Amino acid sequence: MIVEFTLNNEKVKCDVPEHFSLLRMIRDIFGLTGTKKGCDKGECGACTVVMDNKAVTSCTVLAPVVHGKEVLTIEGISKNGQLHIIQQKLVEAGAVQCGFCTPGMVMSAYALFIQDRDFSRDEIKRAISGNLCRCTGYEYIVNGIDEALKTRK
């Protein structure tokens, strides 16, 4: 099946089997391996991307559904080799340890970042509740996201 969509701000087109997930298409067809395959059931958040400005677990989205949509992966948020402010603030907060959950966590945070409103710490926690991290205990992650969100003002 031919799927045309915007991937990291670039129009793309590919022939993909109908049973492929967005995750598999991103990794296997486009070679973007920053989006991680974790549970493959939508429960861990490692594969989170932003689709039409909303965080989604890419393992649960069938590739044909993406036709005509905009998808942003971890590879698409940095500019000119510079980390996005969310990535920078997570590093500064000590929120990056093994790194496996980091791309999905960043994309969940990015979905907040692009909204034009303030978020409480509880709202940040809810927004990343679908992203499992086995290393940090989340406090440093929430701190980093909170600091990144404050830079929008």
Whether residue 102 contacts residue 61, with contact meaning beta carbons closer than 8 Å, is answered with: no
pLDDT per residue of the chain (153 residues) written in tens, 0 to 9: 999 999 999 999 999 999 999 999 999 999 999 999 999 999 999 999 999 999 999 999 999 999 999 999 999 999 898 999 999 999 999 999 898 999 999 999 999 999 989 999 999 999 999 999 988 889 999 999 999 999 986
CA–CA gap between residue 109 and residue 127 (Å, rounded): 7
pTM: 0.95
Tens-place pLDDT, residues 127-144: 999 999 988 889 999 999
Q: Torsion-angle region of residue 80: left (phi > 0), alpha (psi -120 to 50) or beta?
A: left
Domains of the chain are: 2-76 (3.10.20.30), 85-150 (1.10.150.120)
Beta strand ranges found along 27-89 (DSSP E): 48-51, 54-57, 70-72
User: What are φ and ψ of residue 130, in 5° steps?
Assistant: -90, 0
Q: Supply the DSSP symbol for 28.
A: I
Nearest one of 87, 77, 95 to 8, comparing CA atoms: 77
The burial class, CB within 10 Å (0-12 / 13-18 / 19+), for 125 is middle
Tens-place pLDDT, residues 88-103: 999 999 999 898 999 9
What does 122-144 look like in DSSP terms, one character per residue?
HHHHHHTTT---SSS-SHHHHHH
